[in-house]
Amino acid sequence: MVVANKDVRAATGVDAGTLRTIYRHMLRSRLLDERMWILNRQGLAPFWISGMGHEAVQVAMALHLRPGVDWLAPYYRDLSMTLVLGITPREQLLAALARADDPATGGRQMPAHFSSRRLNIVSTGSAVATQLLHAAGVALASRMRGEDAVTVACVGEGATSEGDFHEAVNFAAIHRLPVVFLVENNGYAISVPIEKQMPTPDVADRARGYGIPGVVVDGCDPVLCYLRCGEAVARARRGRGPTIIEAKVLRLTSHSSDDDQRRYRTTEALEAERQRDCLIAFGHRLAGLGVLTPSAAEAMRVELLAEVDQATREAEAAPEPRPETALLHVVGEGAEAG
């Protein structure tokens, strides 16, 4: 069954081509994410922290940004966002495998600490929520330069308990800065469930305290995410100030490759989440809409897996940094010379 684009738009609010693009980006990210876990378990990647279950909202948000013009202050789960903006699978793998050719830091940063000068993706530290302050500063700089760039800053719900979150949102709200705060709420901060993190179920409620909109969206529904993110980005671009978007997402993996969530979540709860996997659900939905047949989706998977395979081969073959460069860019340019 193939349906007319106007019917797809009437049913979803989004055209068929965009729906296919969203699915493709989600699938690409999932396949690369799975590869990172394999490389970690093979002892080749020292660490991995996954975006599985977060893909829908990340892709939806990133598609509203102009790569290299708008700004992203990501956090460690934002593999999908950074892929959409243009960090290639090869570059992602060079970073994860700590290769010298990693364009971000020459293999010196922890895996999943994404950055790209070329794409305006701000280098991130490991202290959670600090990226929000960077984002407020970047947005202020864009305003002072008279540019119409929008900055998106991403954070987990647990990290919104940090003072940095409140300081960044307060400052951005006072100055009506062109920034969107995307809270990716997966219900856990490592092993701490949200009810032990905050006294209210929705982070978005906190927006009211700063006089800005707070929007809750089903982070497993890429269509709703695409619409709500588009509104928030447009609002920021028009000079109307920040929005907090809270996407209720799933954490389909343990916190990181160093964690085992079976020690603090029941088998039933984990199975229930797997049943709600945004990628699988979206695939079924697109098939039902007549936008993407299962065989077309399978062909897409084969093609994208070939890309990930090729990128893996190239990254594995790439040289490691030379030992004599160990201090370069770490404690100052040329510091190793004495």
Ligand X SMILES: Cc1ncc(C[n+]2csc(CCOP(=O)(O)OP(=O)(O)O)c2C)c(N)n1
For Mg ion, the binding residues (CB under 5 A) are 156-158, 186, 188-189
The answer to whether residue 77 forms part of the interface with ligand X (CB under 6 A) is yes
Q: How far is the CB of 120 from ligand X (least distance, A)?
A: 22
β-pairing, 71-73 vs 151-156, is parallel
139: Cα separation from own chain's centroid:
19
The span from the CA of 95 to the CA of 82, in Å, is 13
Q: Could you tell me the two tokens for 335?
A: 């510091």
The only residue of 80, 142, 186, 312 in contact with ligand X, by rule CB under 6 A:
186
Binder of residue 243, out of ligand X, Mg ion, none (CB less than 5 to 8 A by kind): none
The only residue of 71, 171, 181, 188 in contact with ligand X, by rule CB under 6 A:
188
The gap between the terminal CA atoms of the chain, to the nearest Å, is 70
The only residue of 4, 10, 38, 127 in contact with ligand X, by rule CB under 6 A:
127
Nearer residue to ligand X within complex by CB, 62 or 159: 159
The continuous run of DSSP H or E covering 132 comes out as helix 130-144
Contacting residues for 99 by C-beta, under 8 A, at least 6 apart: 107, 315, 318, 319, 320, 321
Binder of residue 77, out of Mg ion, ligand X, none (CB less than 5 to 8 A by kind): ligand X
Contacting residues for 305 by C-beta, under 8 A, at least 6 apart: 31
Nearer residue to ligand X within complex by CB, 77 or 99: 77
The answer to whether residue 189 forms part of the interface with ligand X (CB under 6 A) is yes
Sheet holding 214-218, edge to edge: 71-73, 151-156, 179-185, 243-248, 214-218
Q: How far is the CB of 194 from ligand X (least distance, A)?
A: 8
Q: Could you tell me the two tokens for 121?
A: 């993706």
Nearer residue to ligand X within complex by CB, 48 or 188: 188
Nearer residue to ligand X within complex by CB, 94 or 128: 128
* Residue with smallest beta-carbon separation from Mg ion: 156
The answer to whether residue 190 forms part of the interface with ligand X (CB under 6 A) is yes
133, 75 contact by CB (below 8 A): no
DSSP string, 58-78: HHHHHTTS-TTTSEEE--TTT
Helix (H/G/I), strand (E/B), else coil: 235: helix
Per rule CB under 6 A, count of chain residues that contact ligand X: 14
Binder of residue 126, out of Mg ion, ligand X, none (CB less than 5 to 8 A by kind): ligand X
Helix (H/G/I), strand (E/B), else coil: 322: coil
Q: Could you tell me the two tokens for 236?
A: 């920021």
Q: How far is the CB of 165 from ligand X (least distance, A)?
A: 9
Nearer residue to ligand X within complex by CB, 28 or 77: 77
The answer to whether residue 107 forms part of the interface with ligand X (CB under 6 A) is no
Nearer residue to ligand X within complex by CB, 64 or 77: 77
Q: How far is the CB of 244 from ligand X (least distance, A)?
A: 14
The answer to whether residue 126 forms part of the interface with ligand X (CB under 6 A) is yes
The answer to whether residue 260 forms part of the interface with ligand X (CB under 6 A) is no
Helix (H/G/I), strand (E/B), else coil: 125: coil
Q: What does the binding site for ligand X look like in residue numbers (CB under 6 A)? A: 77, 126-128, 156-159, 184, 186, 188-190, 255
